[in-house]
Amino acid sequence: MIDIQNLRDERNIDIQKVGVKGLKYPIIVLDRAHGTQSVNATINMYVSLLHHFKGTHMSRFVEVLNEIREQVNIRTFQGILDKIRHKLHAESAHIEIEFPYFIEKTAPRSRAKSLMEYRCQFLGTLSDQGMDFIVGMVVPVTTVCPCSKEISRAGAHNQRSIVTVRLRFKKFFWIEDMIQLIEGSASGEVYSLLKRVDEKFVTEKGYENPMFVEDVVRNVAHRLSCDPNFTWYSVEAENFESIHNHSAYAFVEKETS
């Protein structure tokens, strides 16, 4: 059969990324508590395409994915990208994986256990210039407004917040440790299951630990800056304000050296 993708294109335009996007696929990732965890991921896979090729072979992306679905973790990512690059005869390969990651959390007073979901990302690029790999996580927290507490006779407005952190690093780290760092940088944590005694504790703890959105991103950035393992990071936080018709937002990024 004629391979249309390999026919010559005369427009003389290189394509930086071509591939498959939004592919839903089950994969297995590392889990510190249980060894591995099966997750349903959303995956984007791309390669570069030189100007003289008409197209790439889309089916080969899925073939590679089927081969590596039980090997997806921080340690194996470079090998995965290398496999994609060579399978499609490309100068560069890119993969973006987003998945829900579940951690068992214990309520602070009742000790009730429940599963908490966090959105995680693996973002990688491999070319002749080397490997670039970023791990990201999206962590819900709570914040209590310091200004509201200061000016109010009683109470203070509080809200759920979303903190998104992306990292470049030198050596392996556990996602669980990073989530714990982020949760400890806000007024309080979010839980799937709380009894009344837990709600009392969480509410009072947050009230005694008020933070602006600026405080949250600075707290996370400061802790990351103290760890030489992290060579680059970005931290963003969005507070879904409870008494304002808008969100409060802050972003900080470490400059690459």
Complete domains list, the chain, with CATH: 4-253 (3.10.270.10)
What share of the chain has pLDDT > 90, as a percent? 70
Confidence of residue 8 (pLDDT cuts 50, 70, 90): low
* pLDDT higher than 60, residue 2: no
**Alpha-helix residue ranges (DSSP H) falling in 17-76:** 58-68
> Distance between CA atoms of 25 and 41, rounded to whole angstroms?
5
Q: What pLDDT shows up at residue 70?
A: 77
Residue 237, pLDDT score: 98
Q: What is the mean pLDDT of residues 208-229?
A: 97
- Residues 164-181, mean pLDDT to the nearest whole number: 96
- The arithmetic mean of pLDDT across residues 112-127, rounded, is 96
Of 1-5, 76-80, 151-155, which gets the smallest average pLDDT? 1-5
Q: Which region among 28-42, 69-83, 230-244 has the lowest average model confidence (pLDDT)? A: 69-83
Residue 9 has pLDDT above 60, yes or no: no
First-to-final CA distance of the chain: 51
Residue the block writes with tokens 């992290």: 230
Chain-wide mean pLDDT for the chain?
Answer: 90
- Residue 76 banded pLDDT, cuts 50, 70, 90: confident
Mean pLDDT, residues 27-45 taken together: 92
Helix/strand/coil percentages in the chain, nearest 5: 25, 45, 30
* pLDDT above 60 (res 6): no
**pLDDT at residue 56 in the model:** 67
pLDDT on residue 188:
96
Residue 142: other Cβ atoms inside 10 A: 21
For residue 57, pLDDT over 80 is answered with no
Distance CA 220, CA 236 (A): 10
- Cα–Cα distance, 144 to 149 (Å, whole number): 8
Q: Is 17 helix (H, G, I), strand (E, B) or coil?
A: strand
Q: What is the pLDDT of residue 5?
A: 57
**108 in helix, strand or coil?**
coil
What is the predicted pLDDT for the residue at 186?
Answer: 97
Distance CA 16, CA 239 (A): 35
Which own/partner pairs from 193-200 qualify as long-range (CB within 8 Å, at least 24 positions apart)?
Answer: 193/107, 193/112, 193/113, 193/114, 194/107, 194/110, 194/112, 195/107, 195/109, 195/110, 195/112, 197/109, 197/110, 198/107, 198/108, 198/109, 198/110, 198/112, 200/109
pLDDT value at position 74? 80
What mean pLDDT comes out for the span 147-157? 92
- Specify the pLDDT at position 69: 74
pLDDT at residue 103, as a whole number: 96
pTM equals 0.88
